[in-house]
Structure formats: C-alpha cells, structure tokens
Amino acid sequence: MTLAGKAAIVTGATSGIGAAIAEAAGAAGVRLMLVGRSAERGAGVVRRIADSGGEAFFLAGDVAEPSFAERALGLAVGRFGRLDLLVNSAGIIRRGAIDKTSDEDWRAVMTVNADGVFHMSRAAVRQMKKQTSPSGGVIVNVASDWGLVGGRNAFAYCASKGAVVQMTRAMALDHGGDGIRVNAVCPGDVATPMLDTRPEIVEYGRAEGYRMMGAHVPLQRIARPEEIAKAVLFLASDDSAYMTGAMLSVDGGSTAG
C-alpha cells in the first residue's frame, strides 16, 4: 500500500480507533492533520508519530460544530497544499433503548456521528473536486457493524451509524466521476475506551468483560484498534482502487449470520 506523501485529515484521532489510524498512517508516510477535542491526548499522538519518523500536527476542535470543518480543511490545505484523504473516525455513544434515550442523548450522538461526517465530508469533497495531478481523493468513514445490523441498548448510536453507511453510499454514487472514492469500515467490538462503557465491562472489569464479549464472536475475541487501522489504510490506498461505496466489515464474523 503506497501512501507516502499523501495529505490527510483524521478526526477522532486522540484515542481508540482514531489514534491507531493516525499512528499507522504516519508510519506509512502520510502527512497528517489530527483532529480531536483533547489537546493533551492529541499532543501525545503527534509525539508518537514524530518519534516514528512521521509528520503530523494537531487541531483541537469539535466536528459537531458546523463551522469547524471549513476551518480545519483550510488549515490542512494551507499546510499541505491539497487533501488526498479524509478519515471520519470521530464518534461517541450514549447507551439506551429508545425509551431511555433523552433528547440531549439523541442530539449529542447525531451531531458528532452523523453531522460531523456530513460537514467534514462536504468540505473535503469541495476541495477534492478542485484538485489536479492527481485529481480527486479518498474518504473513509468509520461506521459500525451496528450500522449494518441492529444492536441492543444503543438506539441513537445505531441510527447514527446507519446514517454513516447511507452517506457513504450516496457520496460514492455522486462523486465517482470526480475521482473521489468513498468507503466505510464497519468494526465490531474493539478494545477502546468507548467499549469500556459496556455493562459487562463496568460490572466484571476489562479482562473478564472482553472475554465474555469475545465469546459471542466467531473468532472468539474482540478486535484490537490496530486491526481496524489496517483496514482503513487498505481503503485509503490504491490497492483498493476499484472499491467505492463498500462497507468493509471488520467484526470477527459477528454479522456473518
């Protein structure tokens, strides 16, 4: 996978899957703008990328804010001269069935998980359509297996990731002719801070909770963030040049049947 010299924005890059994507991309020679809400954690990811010989800088901000995307895009293009790749990894979860989901929970999840993808992708597409030598670019969205099938006690999250899946398909149809490929990775359970809010882990602790959750997966374990990052880099690279509008399940087989 040849990615060296590409210019990218990775959102949600301060922890979990987003941080793993950023570090893998940095190691592959991608020039990076990292986006997240914690300047302290962002600085740590930038430092690890620099220590491995990569190039990255961090912009603190919230993708839920409508004006943020254009500002981030402007800074990235000002630094790199173009944008080859956008990875929409920012996401949050508020757990609960519909009768336990407040208006505030719904809005919080949808504004980050769905509106954030909308605003960042719109800004990226406008830039990518203007680019030459080479034209276009790539968008990779981090959706979820719960964007493909239902999940219990995560009503707003499931709705938001279903929206990400459909935005991915719609953008792929609309912008293939512009040289822009748009795909999504759909992870299952991954060992991240977000997963640590699951009731099994809260009650039994991380080691036992992970074991219990992995027992329900065909591969008998949950994923590591680095495994999701590898799938994202594949979709970002020319090795997936004939893929667009695809939902790449990286879920240990949990949606196979």
Q: What amino acid positions are annotated as catalytic residues? A: 157
The residue type of 181 is R
DSSP string, the chain: ---TT-EEEESSTTSHHHHHHHHHHHHTT-EEEEEES-HHHHHHHHHHHHHTT-EEEEEE--TTSTTHHHHHHHHHHHHHSS--EEEE-------B-GGG--HHHHHHHHIIIIIHHHHHHHHHHHHHHH--SS--EEEEEE--GGGTS--TTBHHHHHHHHHHHHHHHHHHHHHGGGTEEEEEEEE-SBSSTTGGGSHHHHHH-HHHHHHHHHTTSTTSSPBPHHHHHHHHHHHHSGGGTT--S-EEEESTTTT--
236: left (phi over 0), alpha (psi -120 to 50) or beta: alpha
Total Cβ atoms within 10 A of residue 81: 10
Total Cβ atoms within 10 A of residue 202: 11
Do residues 84 and 91 lie in contact, with contact meaning Cβ atoms separated by under 8 Å? no
